[in-house]
Amino acid sequence: DAMVIQNPRYQVTQFGKPVTLSCSQTLNHNVMYWYQQKSSQAPKLLFHYYDKDFNNEADTPDNFQSRRPNTSFCFLDIRSPGLGDAAMYLCATSRPYSGTVPNQPQHFGDGTRLSIL
């Protein structure tokens, strides 16, 4: 089945130690998204790629970076994780959208739960 796959399901890292989360998709969607979801809160969009075009949300900290080497893969890099970065990180994909803001249904992966020691 076509899907969005996130690895690993659980990730533990140390305070200040860089960490990379990965996402792959078999849907061949043009758009890929990264969300941060803290406990009992709504997902918060960090950034998204429309093909190779990177779109950063205004309030996303500089500590968060992303790479999309090809259509299928997208990575979230946290350069110096702090305790406040412990969260579930969700990857999603969608078909192309018109206009400047994502408005297509999104397909989500199972998420990676990040813990900071």
Which positions touch other proteins (CB under 8 A)?
A: 41-45, 57, 88, 90, 92, 99-111
Q: Report yes or no: 70 and 103 within 8 Å, Cβ to Cβ.
A: no
Decide: 68 and 32 in contact? Cβ < 8 Å: yes
Cα(48)–Cα(56) distance, integer angstroms: 7
Q: Are 17 and 81 in contact (CB under 8 A)?
A: yes
In the bound state with other proteins, the residue whose beta carbon lies nearer, of 74 and 90, is 90
- Closest distance of CB 6 from other proteins, Å: 9
CB of 64 vs other proteins, minimal distance in Å: 17
Given the DSSP bridges, would you call strands 64-67 and 53-56 parallel, antiparallel or unpaired?
A: unpaired
Q: What minimum distance in Å lies between the beta carbon of 98 and other proteins?
A: 10
C-beta of 75 vs 110, nearer to other proteins = 110
- Residue 1 or 70 having the CB closest to other proteins: 1
